[in-house]
Amino acid sequence: MSEDIENYKEKYKTLEDLPGIGPATINKLKEIGFKTVESLGTATLNELVSAGIGKEVAEKVIETARKTVAITFVRGDELVELRKNIRKLTTGCSSLDNLLGGGIETQSLTEFYGEFGSGKSQLCHQLCVTVQLGETQGGLNGSVLYIDTESTFRPKRVQQIAPRFGIKPKDVLKGIVYAEAYTSNHQTVLLENADEVIRDNNIKLIIVDSVMSHFRSEYIGREMLANRQQQLNKHLHKLTRLGRAFNTSLVITNQVMATPDAFFSKAVAPVGGHILGHMSHSRIFIRKGRNNMRIAKLTASPSLPEGEAPMRITERGIESDEDY
């Protein structure tokens, strides 16, 4: 099964290798963000047809491109085989890795949420380092695509964390492809055009820090909510499809809002509504403890029990007692 995929990947390396499409169709595909065979394998018929590609051609190219990604009916035993492709990325913090059953899975969406200063961006900085580690060290041997919506990314901080993992400060930034998103639309367009960047830079982790801030500030009031959720849905779908196509980990951070709750004085919930709740496979709440302590709580997971992990933010990054 997965051997077949490898064969097709070899056979159809670029759009030009696909049978039955000419330059005009290829141009249209590129315009709507399908610049690689892998991402085309996750396209819908409707996306291609609305870009002016004939239905028959569209059906054919999607079908062929799909052979390079595992998107078809499979038997349960084959699914186990396919899931062997899924990797886990270490967070670099043992207690958090344990909570996550070993680390952050590829091909699914992991959401960290918490109030301002809880350490979400710090964790993202650390993941920029760990993704570059070899697989025996818990890394993915790849680079990171970092989409920053709050202008809080600091290369110096990544360089400060790197030596703990045996990576030189002067080397670590080469493994980071960074983009600042100025609006929710810009954020969406960046991802829609990311497939080639992902392939060419061996991206194994995509970070969106933070996913909701632009959506929240631009779409105000009830009457804009439906539209906001529609755009958000599209954005998150694109993200998971890229993760699927390129076997990358997907990490988003999210803000919280207070919820009226009769029993707890400080109950909070992630923003983004049901769309975000359904799309995030794993959700981790980070709350502040005393001093530099933080507590991560797994609040949703397809296969793991709920649980908590204590950790600390120090000069070395995010760590726990077990890391010594």
Q: Least distance to ligand ADP from the beta carbon of 136, Å?
A: 28
Which residues, at least 6 apart from 174, have a Cβ–Cβ distance to it below 8 Å?
none
Q: Point out which span in 33-41, 76-84, 120-128, 215-223 binds Mg ion (CB under 5 A).
A: 120-128
Number of Cβ within a 10 Å radius of residue 38: 23
CA distances from 177 to 53, 116, 197 (A): 32, 25, 9
Is the CB of residue 75 less than 8 Å from the CB of residue 247? no
Residue 188 binding Mg ion, by CB under 5 A: no
Of 138-167, binders to Mg ion (CB under 5 A) are 152
The residue whose Cβ lies closest to Mg ion is 121
Distance CA 168, CA 49 (A): 48
Residue 121 binding Mg ion, by CB under 5 A: yes
Q: Which of left, alpha, beta for 114 (phi over 0: left; psi -120 to 50: alpha)? A: left
Residue 116 binding ligand ADP, by CB under 6 A: yes
What single letter denotes the amino acid at residue 162?
A: A
Please report which residue ranges of 247-302 form alpha helices under DSSP H: 273-279
Residue 118 binding ligand ADP, by CB under 6 A: yes
Residue 249 binding Mg ion, by CB under 5 A: no
Q: Least distance to ligand ADP from the beta carbon of 112, Å?
A: 8
Residue 313 binding ligand ADP, by CB under 6 A: yes
The residue among 127, 88, 310 whose CA lies nearest residue 208 is: 127
Residue 212 binding ligand ADP, by CB under 6 A: no
Q: Point out which span in 4-12, 27-35, 110-118, 174-182 binds ligand ADP (CB under 6 A).
A: 110-118
The residue among 244, 225, 233, 230 whose CA lies nearest residue 279 is: 233
Nearer to Mg ion, 156 or 278 (CB): 156
Q: Tell me how many residues contact ligand ADP (CB under 6 A).
A: 12
Residue 139 binding ligand ADP, by CB under 6 A: no
Of 66, 87, 120, 287, which lies in the binding site for ligand ADP, with binding defined by CB under 6 A?
Answer: 120
Distance CA 252, CA 237 (A): 13
Residue 114 binding ligand ADP, by CB under 6 A: yes
Q: Least distance to ligand ADP from the beta carbon of 14, Å?
A: 38
Residue 122 binding ligand ADP, by CB under 6 A: yes
Strand-pair partners of 20: none
**Burial state string for 4-32 with b = 16 or more CB within 10 A and e = fewer than 16:** ebeebeeebeebeebeebeeebbebbeeb
Q: How far, in whole angstroms, is CA 118 from its chain's centroid?
A: 20
Of 20, 117, 134, 277, which lies in the binding site for ligand ADP, with binding defined by CB under 6 A?
Answer: 117
Residue 314 binding ligand ADP, by CB under 6 A: yes
What are the backbone angles phi and psi of residue 109, rounded to the nearest 5°? -95, 125
Please give the structure tokens belonging to residue 44.
Answer: 């819908």
Nearer to ligand ADP, 41 or 114 (CB): 114
Q: Least distance to ligand ADP from the beta carbon of 292, Å?
A: 6
- Contact residues for ligand ADP, defined by CB under 6 A: 114, 116-122, 152, 313-315
- Contact residues for Mg ion, defined by CB under 5 A: 120-121, 152
